[in-house]
Structure 1
Amino acid sequence: MKVAVNIARVIVGVLFIFSGLVKANDPYGLSYKMQEFFEVWNFHLLDNYTLTFSVLMNAFEIIAGVAVLVGWRMRLFSWLLLLLIIFFTFLTGYALLSGKIKTCGCFGDCIPLTAKQSFIKDLVLLALILLIFAYCNKIKPLFKSSLSISVLTIVTVLSFGFQWYVMQYLPVKDCLPYKVGNNIVEQMKVPANAVLPITETVFIYEKGGKQYTFTDKFPADLDTYKFIDRKDRIIKEGYNYMPPIKDFKLTTLSGVDSTAQVIGQTIDYYFLFVKDFDGLSAKDSWYKEFSRIYKEAKVKDIPVYVVTAQGDLADKLFNQANDHLGVTIFTCDGTEIKTAARTKPCLVKMKGEVIDHKWGRAALSTVNP
């Protein structure tokens, strides 16, 4: 049994460290996934706290994984891991049974798992953690208590420090459709290996106070029924049939779609992605750096555009106050901006349709257009 417990410790510890690190690379990703769950459950009061929850959860997974491997305070951490995996299993089970959440974000966007895969993973982890929990008192620590505390202190600092870094400078590994090297136009196409879902059309009629559904066969006296509705029902789920980029559309403040015109350029140009302006002002260092970048680019005839979900606020900040920059502003779907920009704001250099470089908020001072 000792061997089985040690194997379980290694598997659980490594998986939790790996899971935490993958998600710590992009804390906003888990934050947005939490918002997706909260929206389904109508827990909108928690939306403003999802980033904090994300950072804490990612750090805890890493810390707990290390604690299990070194065998420190196993009674405490076996309890914490058991409670956490029960919670995770509930989430993935809900996602699987309800069908309202397609992916659970267990390993972030870099390793997407279906709800079914996530649920099976959590069931396996639950069994392993139960084994650790049952024999936690017999697990011997690898190091002296003082050394274990030192190791976990370093791990804690690194866990939070790494997340602070990526939230300022962008993820170290970008696994999203707007990563450097991707062609935006190509990403807007349905993948070549797409498998479309098989659907059937369902017609809903009413007669005598009762509703009836028909597909390809209708009763001979159909004219005595009252038509209610028509719906498409999925018979067999498809796979990979949605384009990675779905709603990238650049619209001027006057409502003109300029997407093809802008990304059809063959010259270099820049996008400043800003989903919203909560917590942002012209007094911030990023604004001063962007003002410098814009003015230097203008001298060189390099176009610079602001892309945001809040066009009026952007126009007020950049063009009606402060430096009166006169920057061209486009509105775009907020979800697309969240996908493209994991810091607020985020500068992207384009070469035609291809993303050439990206800078997070804290790196704008290094940009020389």
Structure 2
Amino acid sequence: MIHLRHTIAECARLIVGLTFVASGLLKAVDPVGTALKITEYLAPVFAFTGHSHSLALALSFVLCAGEFILGAFLLAGSYRRVCARFAFVFMILMTLVTGYILIADPVSDCGCFGDALHLTNLQTFLKNLVLLPLSYLVLRDASALRHLFSLRERWVPTILALGGIIFFLVENYRHLPLFDFRPYTVGLKLDEAIIAEEEQFQRAALQSTSYIYEKAGEQRSFSPEALPDSSWTFVRVQDSLALKAFKPKYDFAPVDSLGYPMAEELLTDPGVTLLLLAPSWDAANQSVIDEVGELATQAASLGYRFYGLTASGAEEIARWRYQTGATYPMLQMDPTPIRTMIRAYPGLLVLRGGQIIDKRAYSDFPKVEEVTAYLKELGDPKHPLPTPSYVRTYPLLLWALVLVLAFLRFWARKLHLTLYLKRRIHYSHIKEIDNEKEHRRR
């Protein structure tokens, strides 16, 4: 019975630990996106503070790193009692929060696994209902959980896990997310994606729309393909709830200063178009003013288009022009798709023939002396699309390798001990038989 109890606790430890590691890592891929999700959760609280973005970003770092570290320590068996307590308390809080979200429905997606895996509010609540009792089993038998590292060794995985997740978070914040799970990825043919989405919506609208007609006090619903004769009187059009709740995936609808739509013009241009993105110019970093100015000047000389794309109003745009000397034309769009397109403010998105060929955070803008070469590469259709650097994952990969090796060592030792005990038991049994035979001969 005791052995079964410990086995169940070990399985619970493995499930909870892996879930925490996966959740922390997937959110850490996009710390800015996690901060935006936290802002949605805590909107009433942030309404009383003047630094909501900074506070949400700090909470994002703490949440991502905390989840990963808890999971990493649980898997390694390090600091078992402390981690078990934290994990159980965390699961209690998250179960209560997701229960509130299920009832109040303030957000459509919890963001538990970033943008990599979307769960409904009900799925999130059920997930936590499963993890909560498992975390209690881990807490109940925390002292009996096996550990993969001795007291003298556990500093190695601790430093690798802590340093690795912090380095991973910082690099994903300074640059763009390592893995882009959002719609506007590099290489996407945005023009074709928007057309395909519109066609899909039209088909869904035709299939889900019904027409209500009345005759002799009786109302019936008819599909567009089977409308009744003239003896019926039209009452209303009825759309399905799913169609009413439809949100476009590619909400790319920039307008110029006069309100003229520019999406078609930008997406059908076979040349290169550079978009400098920021939901608000007041929140945009001004450390790359020289690089941006050189990009705009050199782009014009090469016949490329260069626009600023923002949700800022006329007063904020005028302030940005005064502070930076910007002379390039401005386009405006809703802030939500801008935040979806880029996670750095300002950020650069490059289109060529309706395809996204590059995205850059302001920390990765080409230096002034590199601008000409960069722009010429953009105009070359044979030039390969850029790929992110995987250096930011090296400490975490080393941590995973150390954990796997420790796990294999643990089972090797256990197997060796098992074989040793079996040999000892076999030897003792043979010795008893020999002693019994000797006794009989005497």
- Fold shared per TM-score above 0.5: yes
Corresponding residue number in structure 2 for 1:95? 101
Which of 305, 308, 327 is 2:307 aligned to?
A: 305
User: In 1, distance between residues paired with 2:156 and 2:178?
Assistant: 26
Name the SS of the counterpart of 2:366 in structure 1: helix
Name the SS of the counterpart of 1:266 in structure 2: coil
Which of 131, 135, 140 is 1:129 aligned to?
A: 135
Corresponding residue number in structure 2 for 1:64? 70
When structure 1 is superposed on structure 2, of 2-11 and 232-241 the one drifting more is 232-241
User: In 2, distance between residues paired with 1:350 and 1:138?
Assistant: 58
Name the SS of the counterpart of 2:348 in structure 1: strand
- Structure 2 unaligned segments of length 5 or more: list them: 212-218, 221-236, 376-442
User: In 1, distance between residues paired with 2:152 and 2:90?
Assistant: 26
1:44 has 2:47 as partner: yes
Corresponding residue number in structure 1 for 2:200? 192
Q: Tell me if structure 2 keeps the 8 A contact 1:27–1:55.
A: yes
Q: Tell me if structure 2 keeps the 8 A contact 1:93–1:119.
A: yes
Aligned-pair identity in percent equals 25
Distance 1:235 1:328, change over 3 A: closer
Q: Tell me if structure 2 keeps the 8 A contact 1:63–1:155.
A: yes
List per-residue Cα deviations over 1:331-365 (Å, max 9, x = no partner): 11111111111111111110122211111121102
Q: Tell me if structure 2 keeps the 8 A contact 1:311–1:329.
A: no
TM-score, length-normalised on structure 2?
A: 0.69
User: In 2, distance between residues paired with 1:307 and 1:280?
Assistant: 12
Name the SS of the counterpart of 2:115 in structure 1: coil
Distance 1:127 1:71, change over 3 A: same
Corresponding residue number in structure 2 for 1:267? 271
Name the SS of the counterpart of 1:330 in structure 2: strand
Q: Tell me if structure 2 keeps the 8 A contact 1:104–1:118.
A: yes
Corresponding residue number in structure 1 for 2:407? none
TM-score, length-normalised on structure 1?
A: 0.82
Distance 1:153 1:199, change over 3 A: farther
Which of 169, 172, 178 is 1:163 aligned to?
A: 169
Name the SS of the counterpart of 1:147 in structure 2: coil
Number of equivalent positions: 337
Name the SS of the counterpart of 2:154 in structure 1: helix
When structure 1 is superposed on structure 2, of 30-39 and 253-262 the one drifting more is 253-262
Tell me by how many angstroms 1:183 deviates.
3.1
- Structure 1 unaligned segments of length 5 or more: list them: 202-215, 218-231
User: In 1, distance between residues paired with 2:265 and 2:298?
Assistant: 23
RMSD of equivalent CA atoms: 2.9
Structure number having the greater helix percentage: 2
Corresponding residue number in structure 2 for 1:330? 331
Q: Tell me if structure 1 keeps the 8 A contact 2:17–2:72.
A: yes
Q: Tell me if structure 2 keeps the 8 A contact 1:27–1:167.
A: yes
User: In 2, distance between residues paired with 1:119 and 1:134?
Assistant: 23
1:18 has 2:22 as partner: yes
Distance 1:281 1:57, change over 3 A: closer
Q: Aligned partner of 2:302: which letter? A: K
User: In 2, distance between residues paired with 1:117 and 1:94?
Assistant: 13
Name the SS of the counterpart of 1:269 in structure 2: strand
Question: Whose radius of gyration is greater, 1 or 2?
Answer: 2
Corresponding residue number in structure 2 for 1:243? 248
1:295 has 2:303 as partner: no
Q: Tell me if structure 2 keeps the 8 A contact 1:187–1:243.
A: no
